[in-house]
Amino acid sequence: MESSALPVEDELPANRRWNIVGDSAALRHVLDQVEIVAPTDATVVLLGETGTGKELVARAIHEASERRHRRFIKVNCAAIPSGLLESELFGHERGAFTGAIAQRIGRFELGHGGTLFLDEVGELPLELQPKLLRVLQEHEFERVGGTRTINVDIRLIAATNRDLPGMVEAGRFRDDLYYRLNVFPIAIPPLRDRPDDVDALVDHFVGEYASRMNRHVDVITRDTREVLRSYPWPGNVRELQNVIQRAVILSPGGRLILPPLPVSPPPRPAPDEPNTLEGMQRALVTRVLEETNGVIGGPNGAAVRLGLKRTTLQSMIKRFGLSLPHEAAESEIHSHGRCRRLGREHEESWALA
Ligand SMILES: Nc1ncnc2c1ncn2[C@@H]1O[C@H](COP(=O)(O)OP(=O)(O)OP(=O)(O)O)[C@@H](O)[C@H]1O
Ligand SMILES: [Mg+2]
């Protein structure tokens, strides 16, 4: 058979599909796993630090599956108060609880035939875990306050940056659910462990933001590249994206000018240090703030991760004399909105390409 000179979509390199940028061996391994698991209906659990691209990979799995023409529904377990999560997921009947003035269809029913992305699954309250296990195993559930059993066909992709085995050991996550979710785990490595992706990501985001802001940035010096490659990126690709956005704003000429990067986080204490309660708290708060890039509030913020009220965390930060990367909280919220819009544009331009 004669081969065509024009590449068909399946012949494009895996990392050109789904807007996932980077060509490191570690990222290629992730994309290979996406290709393998996507066409099956297996449950996938995505493991990785904040900002590594878990949601992007979840969408890629959906896009590469037979379910791509059906819905991709996302539920962030950390963003919904635990009392409302059951109704959000499974729906409720009218009068099921005070305030349930009408029947409500939950996300599982809405996503019938498609994919449900359960983000921050480690935050799922213990009492809801058996119900999730039942949907995964028996494909059935009842709405809150209802008696009729509803059958659904849904593919579940879960994500977490928590240590699920540790949570199982501590009795905060059911072991049967953990094993059921862990059918096909995919670990997305932090950006500092795949510096080979940094150049491509920088070029990608410079191109995107320059065209959005009508700027022409075509010079990135070797020193700038070196600074970007060697920075440890505690907030991973999301942090890099924010830094590039700021850099493009700061670069009216042709050369990319970087904003000051936060001072490298202090090395983590040795395992046998510190040995006071206060020292441990300080180390934990420092580490979580590093991981959230200094963001305190919001569903992915340090307060939620530490199980503290925002104001309690703020007074601890003050008491421990910790400093935050400047403007962290603000730029995070700001760039979230922009990321989303950017993501949609990607999809549109990809569809046109
Ligand atoms: N390889 C990549 N190529 C292009 N963009 C990426 C890549 N990885 C991540 N991003 C972008 O970085 C941002 C963060 O990615 P994403 O939301 O998927 O991370 P996450 O792991 O779900 O983070 P969190 O745990 O904080 O929810 C998004 O704007 C995403 O589009
Ligand atoms: Mg996410």
The per-residue pLDDT for range 105-119, each reduced to its tens digit, is: 999 999 999 999 999
Would you state the pLDDT for residue 302?
Answer: 86
First-to-last C-alpha distance (Å) of the chain: 27
Rounded to two decimals, what is the model's pTM?
Answer: 0.74
Report how many helices (DSSP H) and strands (DSSP E) the chain contains, helices first. 14, 7
- Closest listed ligand to the CA of 190: 1
Compute CA distances 335 → 9, 167, 212, 242, whole Å. Answer: 31, 31, 14, 7
Is it the case that residue 8 has pLDDT exceeding 50?
no
Tell me how far apart the alpha carbons of residues 288 and 317 are, in angstroms, rounded to a whole number. Answer: 12
Determine the atom of ligand 1 nearest the C-alpha atom of 197.
1
Cα 200 to middle of ligand 2, angstroms:
21
240 touches 201 (CB < 8 A): yes
Q: What integer pLDDT is reported at residue 327 of this predicted model?
A: 40
Q: Is the backbone peptide bond immediately before 274 cis, with ω within 30 degrees of 0?
A: yes
Q: What is the mean pLDDT of the chain?
A: 84
The number of residues in the chain equals 353
Atom of ligand 1 nearest to the CA of 204: 4
- What per-residue confidence (pLDDT) applies to 16? 56
> pLDDT at position 21, please?
95
Of all ligands present, the nearest one to the C-alpha of 118 is 2
Q: Which of 203, 238, 244, 341 to mutate to test the pocket of ligand 1 (most atoms within 8 A of CB)?
A: 238
How confident is the model over 171-197, as pLDDT tens digits?
Answer: 999 999 999 999 999 999 999 999 999
Contacts 24+ apart (CB under 8 A), 100-109: 100/144, 100/145, 103/143, 104/143, 106/143, 107/73, 107/75, 108/135, 108/141, 108/152, 108/154, 109/150, 109/152
| Sign of the CA dihedral with 165 first, then 159, 301, and 195 last | positive
pLDDT at 276: 66
pLDDT at 120: 95
Is the model more confident about 48 or about 7? 48
Q: What average pLDDT does range 139-152 have in this prediction?
A: 94
Residue 171, burial from CB neighbour count under 10 angstroms (0-12, 13-18, 19+): exposed
DSSP string, 76-140: ETTTS-HHHHHHHHH-B-TTSSTT--S-B--HHHHTTTSEEEEETGGGS-GGGHHHHHHHHHHSE
pLDDT at 351 over 50: no
Instruction: Read off the pLDDT of residues 304-334 as tens digits, 9 standing for 90 and up.
Output: 888 888 888 888 888 887 777 544 433 333 3
Pocket (CB within 6 angstroms of ligand 1) = 19-22, 48, 50-56, 161, 201, 237-238, 241, 300, 339, 343
Angle between helices 25-37 and 54-63 (to 10 degrees): 40
For residue 239, the CA-to-ligand 1 centroid distance in Å is 9
Q: What pLDDT is attached to residue 264?
A: 60
pLDDT band at 4 (very low <50, low <70, confident <90, very high): very low
Rounded average pLDDT over 114-140 = 96
Lowest mean pLDDT, pick from 56-65, 74-83, 106-115: 74-83
pLDDT band at 208 (very low <50, low <70, confident <90, very high): very high
Share of the chain above pLDDT 90, in %: 63
User: How many A from CA of 102 to the centre of ligand 2?
Assistant: 31
Q: What is the pLDDT of residue 311?
A: 86
Nearest CA, atom 13, ligand 1 = 238
